[in-house]
A = this chain, B = another copy of it.
Amino acid sequence: MPPKISVIVWNEFQHERENAAVRAIYPDGLHATIADALRRNPALEVGTATLEQPEHGLSEERLAGCDVLLWWGHKAHDQVSDAVVERVQRRVLEGMGLIVLHSGHFSKIFRRLMGTHCSLKWREADEKERIWVVEPSHPIAAGLGEYFELPYEEMYGERFDIPKPDTTVFISWFEGGEVFRSGCCWERGHGHVFYFRPGHEAYPTYHDANVQRVLDNAVQWAAPRVNMPDRCPMSPALETLSPKTLNFAKVGIAQNQEDIE
């Protein structure tokens, strides 16, 4: 029996505490809703972590054992400590998977891995989103049809300031007239990164069966194949050619002979 994929669902967990409408949808936090759905897959071992916990629930030890981290944040990106962000980045580059959700496009960790602003257009107006599957043979699209719909979502519109995705799995249509690359895959170091757009806190998106399927697929896709810490080694030569004399005269530059090492 192969070992379970170890998953952490990280959530800011502020909106739920401050806003009754959001709490009504996610009584224990959206991380609990996402985690409960993922736990239906017996191959996954799922925990959660939130901003206000010590080290935001992401200690060195906990992250060392984490295969895939999901991240939801919105109004408190700046409160995430740089030390934890660097730790998460290092783990991704070693092989840990990362799934960034919705407003997490502006999280420190996503912007750090992308190198761009990650800006976009937006509008909160209870609009329908239709998520088209552009790559139906991609693992993240398994079990979905040609598209699925969310009756109410916050619009995100192009231009999404991201590096070109390695693969664009989903493109969304919004009733107000916009489009958006809503499912994007990259590799950073040995880690897989997946950005998935839906998930405005005021809508029950994470209760949606298709959304839950996407997250389950994405966790399996993002699970690490290797765990390789960073190295920048001096490496001895593998081949020997004829002996060399360092001779700048040969390349046309005059110099002070006694200075040459």
Contact = CB atoms under 8 A, between A and B. Distances in A.
A136 B259 CA distance: 39
A239 B236 contact: no
A253 B25 contact: yes
A138 B235 CA distance: 23
Most buried by B among A93, A175, A246: A175
Contacts of A226: 136-137
Each complex incorporates copies of this chain amounting to: 4
Interface string A211-252: 000000000000011101011111111111100101010111
A177 B253 contact: no
A159 B133 contact: yes
Contact of A159 (B136, B151, B244): B136
A210 interface: no
A125 interface: yes
Interface of A is mostly: loop
A159 B144 CA distance: 13
Contacts of A161: 93, 189, 230
A252 B207 contact: yes
B132 A178 contact: yes
A136 B190 contact: yes
A80 interface: no
Most buried by B among A21, A127, A163, A186: A163
Interface string A145-183: 010000110010111110110111001111111110100
Contact of A164 (B125, B167, B176, B204): B167
Given A137-B225, A137-B226, A189-B161, A204 B248 contact: yes
A134 interface: yes
A235 B137 contact: no
B179 A132 contact: yes
Most buried by B among A135, A137, A232: A137
